[in-house]
A = this chain, B = another copy of it.
């Protein structure tokens, strides 16, 4: 965790966890100031660590009184999360996006750490073959079917 992006991620997740409403509001400039970094670094963290695939939504507003709002999307209670996931997966899934989705499933405790590692192994380029439309299609296919499996009643 030596790098800045990771530290900012940890910090944001910590206060997000403490917030009771499932979201936090903050200012980009202030946060950048606290970490002594370029403001755009905050955007980098938001894009890579708080993406939709990872289960976060970021709203913002510019101008005076501008802000960032980071919202945690939990589907722990969502009964048809496979449906949502299906939308996220589509017919093409890159390794990066697949890993992000697994990250989210793990954070929501829908899969265990071991299951995440097993699935990462399988969805890795080294298993499926170099990244191209065909393997990305295969990856999407596998991911969709896995979600159906883990949402089976008898496996809860």
Q: Which B residues touch A149, using CB under 8 A?
A: 117-118, 121
A110-151, CB < 8 A from B: 113-115, 117-119, 121-122, 124, 126-129, 138, 141-142, 145-146, 148-150
Please state if B2 and A65 are interface contacts (CB–CB under 8 Å): yes
Q: Which B residues touch A33, using CB under 8 A?
A: none
The complex is assembled from copies of this chain, and their number is: 2
Given contacts A113-B155, A115-B115, A155-B113, contact A145 B128 (CB under 8 A): no
A153, chain B: closest CB distance, angstroms: 12
Overall SS of chain A's interface? helix
Q: Give A3 to B117 CA distance when docked, in angstroms.
A: 36
A29, chain B: closest CB distance, angstroms: 12
Q: Which B residues touch A79, using CB under 8 A?
A: none
Q: Which B residues touch A113, using CB under 8 A?
A: 155
Count of chain A residues with Cβ under 8 Å from any Cβ of B? 33
Please state if A127 and B114 are interface contacts (CB–CB under 8 Å): no
Q: Does A17 contact B (CB under 8 A)?
A: no
Q: Give A117 to B155 CA distance when docked, in angstroms.
A: 9
Q: Give A149 to B119 CA distance when docked, in angstroms.
A: 10
A91, chain B: closest CB distance, angstroms: 14
Q: Which B residues touch A150, using CB under 8 A?
A: 114, 118
